[in-house]
Structure 1
């Protein structure tokens, strides 16, 4: 291990040395070109013709690189920028994808391949603060299709690149930056009229075709601005985007193993690895298939004889997909954004501005899954093979045949709507040459709605269905069946279901910031006040039980919500038959006084008609005829009356958080010398007070049900919003210095303390005490403290000429505030503070409490998160290199860019045993090779993120099973031809052609073992052909 570590360090030094040598050669070439005459030598005046030959016109993409290099060199702290041309020169679909080219920034992608949010320097996306025009922003969306966004993530896929002029990533905080980004702060600057004085119109239209999707989409943009002298200007712009999208994939929702009985395993370590989501029947059921005889005992001898070569421990611990689910996700994704900005300068020293933004997204998709169901099933393994003779900690099934199998279709239309509105007025007043006042107000509001019904018909039990599974070496497995699973006649309702589960979200922000600066570039003092108010509410809705009773439960004339029972979903249709047995207590308790007759009206989608709603779909697979099913099942009525629920189908829990923060800061900026070296510096401190209000929707049994035992008489569970507030203060110092070692070499050092507030989902003051034994539960943690990070940054930049530079930065973050779960033993009576009392327990819980001495004596064990005392240390190296190659190649216009980030993390102290920060790749890089000259531009880029752990252990109840993402590599190609320059025609457009995901990269993950596939999503390539221009 020591030798390998030493070897890796040597390799890193060799890489850095090699970069330095090559950059030095290039820099010398530019230096020779630009060298001034010696002091004693007479200046030589070059002929005009020769001067023309030596002039290199830098425009377009290279001009943007030059602007970014200039901004980087002039910055005191560690920051990177992407300017307008850079943003617009790539096939980026949104801001997140543009930011992925910054060193230290990693991007999270949806299953469609589109970037959604970012993280900086090895900490999750919730540790990055996102600003819009220097003000905080919140977007209500729930993130990727397999996410929930219950933390502090900000989805950036709503924001198009066309309407922004600069993106700035600050990795070393200063006192004047809004707090909340322990990892870093990203500021997105929208376009303003005086960015380009005069009258201008720019436009763009692009056709886009995803290779595996049906149809062609497109996007367009138009931005117009006009200024009147240097006094007033206005800018308006909009973008529209319609994407015909499709992604195919494989999902498991975890892997599992069988829960063997004592008769099936005599091993002393039976079921020792956890899991057990699948039960092998005690005897062969009728219609199991594969030639098995009904009634045959399935004991240890049976399992060993039908799985030759395996031990009972291998059969017991081998992992199989909980769901072998092949997914098809397709439809239309629409986006639209508009900005309106005005600037007014009534005096030379007074500047007013206002920025407004409106964005909207509407995803109208269908998600269809074809699933072999292992979890909660009763499959019988035959001829199973595994990958390891030692399955003590688990192993992976490589192949096998499974009789008594079941298969279902999960058809789910999905409609997600998001909008965002924002306004940002402000002013700059230079009161005197050395005194300046800045003031700004801001407000945003965002809403999100998620509608995701599910229709799930299933194959009949005892139908003789047999599944054959092949692991395919850990890739997407092969799962085949002995029957035609695309035959509508093979599906029934019994064991299936329908769901109505929605989610609604609202977020809002408002704030006011003001700064007063005195001094000049040599020395200035700056102080400021900030007030920010941000809130979010998540509401789940669920009307599944009522809809299911009508669709396939014989449609009783009266339906009562739980804890009253519900009819079985079997597609029965007996109109007029009595339903009295369903609710024997009807007319008493909750339904006292109701005398309407209880009858069945017949399932709206009866079993004998179910097959007529299953029609051929994509690739010959059967799908639900949704338009007809929706109408005949009365879906819209049930959806519009869905009651509130404590959770939703995204996995998010209903909750509320509001944070009102008041901040004050002061800082000093200046210039000095250290020896003979010029030094620019910044030092300051920020104090912030946070008032936090958090809420949770809690559900508990109605106490009146204590004496009501019959269905039909019970009162529905009660729901109540519970709120709790807390207040805390933080002081955040920072100091940064930039030392000019030579005119082309700048070294930087920064020391700082930054913060990110706790996960709002963990702060919810909710309680879960639903177990029938009334002995365990969970409690929210509204008093969790924020994460605090002590940061050190050291770096050196070498500017090699024009847009070229080499940048090396090492950083360290020591973060505390991570949480652990404590199991707290407390008196049952202490739960009254959370609304749980003896009287509102269900009868079985009351019996359990009485058996332990009654409500005044019994104790319970409640799990609760708390801040651990340990520290997470993140150390890393960032490399940035942008280099034109005009002096090395015979053809001008070539160049390359490279960013690389190496990260190592470790944890120490109390509560950190086994702790790891999730979704942190140890290595990531972005390499691009470009050509731009004479109106032609071409660039190929390659992004890489090494695989990393994505979820903690104990997944699906398997003790040692964590989730991991595989390494991701994506190549993109972009090109353009500027017809104005090539053909010498004024105002002619530029033709663009791009290919996204040139190498058809897939987003994949695995479960505990690399050959145990957890998920795989394949969006394929996307081609784009467009025109853009300006006049």
Structure 2
């Protein structure tokens, strides 16, 4: 029976109670405490503005003078965000910390989810991982910290990071004071984000002059893992009395756990019937039992093969079948009297229907330090450093009903029922078999960065400013993912699918180690993955004029490299395992599991089979089991730009504008292993391109509280490194056809136009609307490029004698052409048109401290050009509609926020899944409630705040479907997470 453990009644009742609490009135405060806290907050705000900030790559004058602002907490962060948006020239949205070490959300990705046009990519444990902007994938978002590039080596639980995504869960939110999303570019912003740029601003000493210290301690509970985990952060800053030097340090530690229950299928498939089962005479010379006639398998797929003859085992005999009987058309129709053979050939079943459970540790330690030196009013120097280290384990267990081609198995249906979409809704299957897949993953990730820089003012009035900056970062990941797979005896099951999750009844006790589990058809794997990413850069920016009216010129150098290596020692370990542990011994290494099916005594199994030696001796392979390819890329970019910022009056109203041009050149080296003549060697391919990236933005204050905006620009994202790796292989002996990566892929280019504006209603309130249009070129698809052999980069001596002779016969290496299958840029464009609405509104006339914020995004996609059809099949993962809202209330002691985020489901893949032409993976709509609350104990030292955060209050699951709504593809239940803590600042 499928294992699908419901949460306890207590857990669900707790979730409903928390949801109800969110609307309840908060505790009252004393007037004296309120006045004292307001005065302290106002003093901190004023002090933070006494010294100017070093120049960052962001909108000029990000925050207006807020001397009159006395609001605290979340409303204070909203006030800063509103003023930053109002003062910007382009289309930006920002989120600010409430105070030092008090970012308003638990996860930076979750914070960004409150911004219109942002789509949050969640890991299977529901943790916010990375963000997409305005309908383009996450890899089209450029992420920077303090204006410099970020590249991480981590890949998330479901290993989706194969491109240029940045996993934000590596970075503690408490180390940052603000995050700004630039939806429209400026020439001085780093290129690489066709969708936009996310700039995370880390803590610095002069953000809050004097001596300051903050702490936060929390206990985290997840109702799936059913464990309590600690987490804590401490930050301290100091500046000397002269205001010339300061230091900030921070330490953050998380000892987390994960708990995820779910169901996976690895796609759905249908029968591949042979000539005998179709009742069609096989052509001469064709084996009727192995041939698969197209006229009987017209719907594609064919991954489910039924046995040629009734197997000779107890399960088939008990089902009333005769061992050895030919499984032909007549028998199939006799066993399934309600179906035709055409219907049977189209029946959809999960390839590997499997309940899955994940449990493990999610530990992270991080350290940051920032130093500022201000020896004079004309010189500001800084040094930012960040280090984070994560250790993650995941005991991933699943028990699979085998529906795909697998050894001697092959489901034989009896009384099968199907709906109008050919999805099997009910059946008895004999010759059924299950296998346990136990995968105890371990993963270690590190990231460090160093970012020195400075600002220098020249001229009599200090109206010439030079910003210089350098950066260096490195991220490293090593992941080991062994697999232990053992099989059950054959059995007969009763299967049903009512539109929820597929279920079955079986006489086998899948939680019994002595059931008769066997190595027959089983396996073990030892597979490792290593990733290293590095960034190096330097930039200089010279500004002539004041911040509002100036000319800026600058140059930047950036180098990015990434190397992925897969290692596999499975054959050697498997031979040793089978020599060490027989079928008779196997039961002693299995244990009853907590999820309705067995698990493995991992420590004993690994020790007795010498796993560590085989892991450490694993040779390099073509790629890891996460889907990446072994290989590397090194990109060197040089950029130069000029930018003009100005102000003028139009109809007696101020018009601010920014105009600029950025020119960038990129040289690439992509490398990876190739095999020629049985010899494996490393091949290097080169490519380069140059781009001009203009931008213009204007903001017009048409009324005292109304700003209209317009922006036009061109942005770029570099192509997927995985599509450029060599991986060169010839598919014939004449060297006429080959597969290879494409180092000459052009970047994705987006031509953008935005128009919109805001009406500022007072305090943190405003209403905004934006229309945007993006025309993206450069999308890729699998095509064929014909090129001379000499351009392949394949050494002549590595070819076989037959291949060299064939090339000579076609005119030699310089003239003989080869048809190369590779990713190529499509001749067409993806047009993205969208609408963003946002409303932030305090409601003091209803209740003091009450307010709400809400936003809505709608996106329409079209493709144009001769390759429009190919483009349409490669654009997926874009939600057509998104909205989120937050109701907040706070005074100087208490605060409550209830948020709801909803995303419409979207196609997650192109068509032709599992060889079925129409089939795509679609994600379902999903909404999630989150709660954040705090209460300040004002009479205690440091005025500590008691905090409560509840994520996914109602326990919403995440589901995708194999084209049809009753054909689940993946289903994950991450549960709800409750965090109770205390934090303070002094």
Task: Give the TM-score of the pair, scaled to structure 2.
Answer: 0.87
Residues 623-669 of structure 1 deviation map (CA, whole Å, 9 limit, x = unaligned):
11000000100100100000000111111111111111000000110
Report if the CA contact (8 A) 1:700-1:840 is conserved.
no
- C-alpha distance in 2, partners of 1:960/1:747? 45
- Secondary structure in 2 matching 1:833: coil
* Match 1:320 to one of 349, 358, 362: 349
Q: CA deviation at 1:860?
A: 7.5
RMSD: 2.5
Report if the CA contact (8 A) 1:838-1:855 is conserved.
no
- C-alpha distance in 1, partners of 2:934/2:915? 53
Residues 318-373 of structure 1 deviation map (CA, whole Å, 9 limit, x = unaligned):
21100011111001110111100010100012100000000111102210111111
Q: Does 1:901 align with 2:857?
A: yes
Match of 1:431 in 2: 458
- C-alpha distance in 1, partners of 2:737/2:100? 53
- C-alpha distance in 2, partners of 1:379/1:858? 50
- C-alpha distance in 2, partners of 1:998/1:90? 21
- C-alpha distance in 1, partners of 2:362/2:594? 19
Q: CA deviation at 1:733?
A: 0.4
Q: CA deviation at 1:311?
A: 1.6
1:489-508 pair list within 5 angstroms: 489=514, 490-508=516-534
Match of 2:23 in 1: none
* Match 1:999 to one of 951, 954, 974: 954
Residues 783-817 of structure 1 deviation map (CA, whole Å, 9 limit, x = unaligned):
00001110001011011000001110110000000
Report if the CA contact (8 A) 1:758-1:785 is conserved.
yes
Aligned residues: 892
- Secondary structure in 2 matching 1:65: helix
Q: CA deviation at 1:701?
A: 4.7
Q: Does 1:235 align with 2:248?
A: yes
Match of 2:396 in 1: 367
Q: CA deviation at 1:94?
A: 2.7
Change (3 A) 1:684 1:829: closer
Residues 289-317 of structure 1 deviation map (CA, whole Å, 9 limit, x = unaligned):
22211111211121112112112111111
Match of 2:510 in 1: 485
Q: Does 1:82 align with 2:95?
A: yes
Residues 162-195 of structure 1 deviation map (CA, whole Å, 9 limit, x = unaligned):
1100100000001000000000000011100100
Report if the CA contact (8 A) 1:814-1:871 is conserved.
yes
Q: CA deviation at 1:486?
A: 2.3
Shifted more, 784-793 versus 761-770: the winner is 761-770
Shifted more, 618-627 versus 450-459: the winner is 618-627
Residues 909-935 of structure 1 deviation map (CA, whole Å, 9 limit, x = unaligned):
021215332110010111111110141
Gap regions ≥5 residues in structure 2: 1-67, 281-293
- C-alpha distance in 1, partners of 2:123/2:650? 49
Match of 2:129 in 1: 116
- C-alpha distance in 2, partners of 1:458/1:410? 9
Report if the CA contact (8 A) 2:781-2:870 is conserved.
no
Report if the CA contact (8 A) 2:736-2:817 is conserved.
yes
1:316-465 pair list within 5 angstroms: 316-377=345-406, 378-388=410-420, 395-432=422-459, 433-460=462-489, 463=490, 465=491
- Secondary structure in 2 matching 1:608: helix
Match of 1:223 in 2: 235
Q: CA deviation at 1:272?
A: 1.4
- C-alpha distance in 2, partners of 1:170/1:159? 20
Q: CA deviation at 1:853?
A: 12
- Secondary structure in 2 matching 1:269: helix
* Match 1:929 to one of 880, 887, 895: 887
Q: Does 1:957 align with 2:982?
A: no
Change (3 A) 1:150 1:922: same
Q: CA deviation at 1:269?
A: 3.1
- Secondary structure in 1 matching 2:587: helix
Match of 1:34 in 2: none
Report if the CA contact (8 A) 1:448-1:504 is conserved.
yes
Report if the CA contact (8 A) 2:109-2:168 is conserved.
yes
Match of 2:205 in 1: 193
Report if the CA contact (8 A) 1:61-1:86 is conserved.
no
- C-alpha distance in 2, partners of 1:700/1:355? 47
- C-alpha distance in 1, partners of 2:75/2:839? 14
Report if the CA contact (8 A) 1:61-1:89 is conserved.
no
- C-alpha distance in 1, partners of 2:112/2:220? 22
- C-alpha distance in 2, partners of 1:164/1:548? 48
Report if the CA contact (8 A) 1:283-1:297 is conserved.
yes
Change (3 A) 1:914 1:312: farther
Residues 182-211 of structure 1 deviation map (CA, whole Å, 9 limit, x = unaligned):
000000111001000010110000000001
Report if the CA contact (8 A) 2:944-2:982 is conserved.
yes
Q: Does 1:946 align with 2:922?
A: no
Match of 1:36 in 2: none
- Secondary structure in 2 matching 1:488: coil
* Match 1:778 to one of 739, 762, 767: 739
Q: Does 1:720 align with 2:677?
A: no
Q: Does 1:868 align with 2:826?
A: yes
- C-alpha distance in 1, partners of 2:376/2:346? 77
Q: CA deviation at 1:751?
A: 0.5
- C-alpha distance in 2, partners of 1:203/1:213? 27
1:761-772 pair list within 5 angstroms: 761-769=722-730
Match of 2:868 in 1: 912
Change (3 A) 1:832 1:200: closer
Report if the CA contact (8 A) 2:835-2:859 is conserved.
yes
- C-alpha distance in 1, partners of 2:160/2:725? 16
- C-alpha distance in 2, partners of 1:384/1:896? 53
- Secondary structure in 2 matching 1:472: coil
Change (3 A) 1:800 1:754: same
- C-alpha distance in 1, partners of 2:826/2:811? 34
Report if the CA contact (8 A) 1:355-1:424 is conserved.
yes
- C-alpha distance in 2, partners of 1:679/1:860? 58
Residues 896-952 of structure 1 deviation map (CA, whole Å, 9 limit, x = unaligned):
010111100100102121533211001011111111014110111001110001111
> Whose radius of gyration is greater, 1 or 2?
1
Report if the CA contact (8 A) 1:661-1:691 is conserved.
yes
Change (3 A) 1:72 1:86: farther
1:703-742 pair list within 5 angstroms: 718-742=679-703
* Match 2:930 to one of 969, 972, 988: 972
Residues 672-702 of structure 1 deviation map (CA, whole Å, 9 limit, x = unaligned):
0122221000001000011111112223452
Match of 2:151 in 1: 138
1:284-683 pair list within 5 angstroms: 284-287=310-313, 288-289=315-316, 290-377=319-406, 378-388=410-420, 395-432=422-459, 433-460=462-489, 463=490, 465-473=491-499, 475-489=500-514, 490-521=516-547, 523-552=549-578, 603-683=579-659
Report if the CA contact (8 A) 2:511-2:593 is conserved.
no
Shifted more, 317-326 versus 538-547: the winner is 317-326
Change (3 A) 1:775 1:723: closer
* Match 2:309 to one of 269, 276, 283: 283
